[in-house]
Structure 1
Amino acid sequence: MVSSKVLSDFYFMPRPNVLDIPVPDAVAGNTYEAKVVAVDAYGNASPEETLTFTR
């Protein structure tokens, strides 16, 4: 399991549409599942989203 906190870089203009987050030791052809929760500056969390992807 890999866990990471990523700052959205909201202070950059224009704002990026995509965040590129490397997955260490990911193996080509394997399928992975990412669970994502967005948290704003006040600590409000979004509902968890699950994303499945293949490297």
Structure 2
Amino acid sequence: MTTSLVLPPDQARILKQVAAIRMMRGSMQTASVSEVIRQLISENEPALRAEIAREQTV
């Protein structure tokens, strides 16, 4: 699935910089902004699911 994100330039720059740093450190093979976003979602998944659950019970 392909999803388009519209981000302010400073947020896009942060994601690109983090991806580049992770690639240089060797923790990622390529400088992938998508991978950074996937990791952020995975790390915050419990909170995101809790927010969804709260709305579904209202």
Task: Give the TM-score band, short-chain normalised.
Answer: under 0.3
Tell me the TM-score normalised to structure 2 length: 0.22
User: What's the TM-score, normalizing by structure 1?
Assistant: 0.23
Q: Max radius of gyration: which structure?
A: 2
Say which structure is richer in helix: 2
Higher relative contact order (CA 8 A, sep 6+): 1
Higher strand proportion: 1
